[in-house]
Amino acid sequence: MNRHYQRGQVLPVWAMGIVAMLIVTMAVVRYSDMVRWQVRAQNAADAAAQSIVALQTQQFNEMSMVLYATAVEEYRIREILYALELTAYGDGGCTADNSCLARYVSLEAQYLKAVARYNNEVIMLDRVTANMDATTMSSDAYALLADLKTQCGQQGGGDCAFGYALVAYGGRTPVYGVQMDARAFIKPSLGGHMTPSGTLNGSLDPVEVEVAVCADVPSPVPSLFNFHPAPHRVIARAAATAVMMEQDWFQPGSLTNPWTQAYYQPLELPSGSTEDAGDGSGKDWYAVDFAGNGSVANTISNGYTFGIYNNEFTAYLGWWNAVPIRPQSGPEPDTALGCSS
């Protein structure tokens, strides 16, 4: 047969192969784009959920710091008052060098300064906790979510490509695997070493939120002839809760700063002395001594075993953070998940 008549017989095969390759390429491009958008959506939802919970954890941490400062000042005031009483009665050794009056004057000045500091710290504590009620925090959560959209693309804003929705907000009930946060030192009703005293404030419940984001994403594949790829809808849901990530038994007067090697809350001498009071006891009865505590952790009972044999000051300090958890809400319509329709 003349080869002239056999030319072009493979053309249909090549044409079908090229079409098949284009279809596979478009499918890969579209699938890759869907995965990319799903990852982007999940990142946006995770960031939104944890930023809302951070409203509470930041307040918890600020409250803990100011409470610690007021506790230190209360201890200092009590010690100075005791020292003032000693000098007023001529006790504690001040009669040995006839320094009772001078010590009293010095202690009085330090007492007034401590009271002024304490007053300022209480005012600060009131400001920190002023909007910690559940109603205000819920309102702030919705406002923050709205800001993520209106301030999108800016520092502190969200992802402009998505609509945001707050699916759930409230106290953490049930509390899943983190029920015994820090042995329940913040909410004693959960059990642990402490028992409730009076009525507990529900606003101290660790909060749990669930956020959804939604977007209709245009296809990365261009329209060809009568082929018009439809956009695909991407939805992501994320939940977060407040957890005390670290809880410390803090011992002022015995713990040292690892950088400066100085004691946290070292011995204070408000009456100006640098030695014992002169009564032969080897102790300055007019000093403010936080004393510290040499107790060590008991790994079996998850606590501390110690005996208190002298006046001392210690504190529990906990640091809160927002952590992701598994979403708990059931199925929701697209419009409840931030989708336009």
pLDDT in tens, 230-286: 778 888 999 998 888 877 778 888 888 889 988 888 889 998 776 666 666 677 889
Tell me how far apart the alpha carbons of residues 274 and 269 are, in angstroms, rounded to a whole number.
Answer: 7
Q: Are 186 and 194 in contact (CB under 8 A)?
A: no
The predicted pLDDT at position 204 comes to 74
Phi, psi dihedral angles at 314 (to 5 degrees): -135, 165
Token pair for 326 = 């598994």
pLDDT digits (tens, 9 = 90+) for 81-120: 999 999 999 988 888 888 899 999 999 999 999 999 999 9
Q: Which amino acid, residue 49?
A: A
Q: Are 45 and 212 in contact (CB under 8 A)?
A: yes
Region of 192 please: left (phi>0), alpha (psi -120 to 50) or beta: left
- Sites in the chain below the pLDDT cut of 70: 1-11, 13-14, 19, 23-29, 172-202, 221-228, 274-281, 294-309
Tell me how far apart the alpha carbons of residues 49 and 267 are, in angstroms, rounded to a whole number.
Answer: 45
Q: Radius of gyration over alpha carbons of the chain, in Å?
A: 33
- Residues 6+ positions from 267 with CB-CB distance below 8 Å: 253, 287, 288, 289, 290
For the CA atoms of 282, 261, 72, 83, the dihedral, rounded to the nearest 10 degrees, stands at 20
**For residue 138, with 0-12 CB atoms within 10 Å meaning exposed, 13-18 middle and 19 or more buried, which class applies?**
middle
The predicted pLDDT at position 316 comes to 78
Bridge partner residues of 165 (DSSP): 212
The predicted pLDDT at position 248 comes to 77
Phi, psi dihedral angles at 115 (to 5 degrees): -65, -40
Q: How many CB atoms lie within 10 A of CB 36?
A: 13
- 287: DSSP letter: S
Tell me how far apart the alpha carbons of residues 315 and 310 are, in angstroms, rounded to a whole number.
Answer: 16
> Which segments of 192-283 does DSSP mark as H helices, in order?
none
Instruction: Pick the closest to residue 48 from 234, 242, 244, 210 (CA basis).
Output: 210
- 204: DSSP letter: G
- 229: DSSP letter: P
Instruction: Pick the closest to residue 86 from 76, 99, 73 (CA basis).
Output: 99
Q: How many CB atoms lie within 10 A of CB 69?
A: 17
CA distances from 317 to 125, 131, 145, 217, 323 (A): 16, 22, 30, 47, 19
Residues in the chain: 341
CA distances from 191 to 14, 185, 199, 206, 326 (A): 74, 9, 15, 15, 24
Which pTM was predicted? 0.77
Q: How many CB atoms lie within 10 A of CB 23?
A: 10
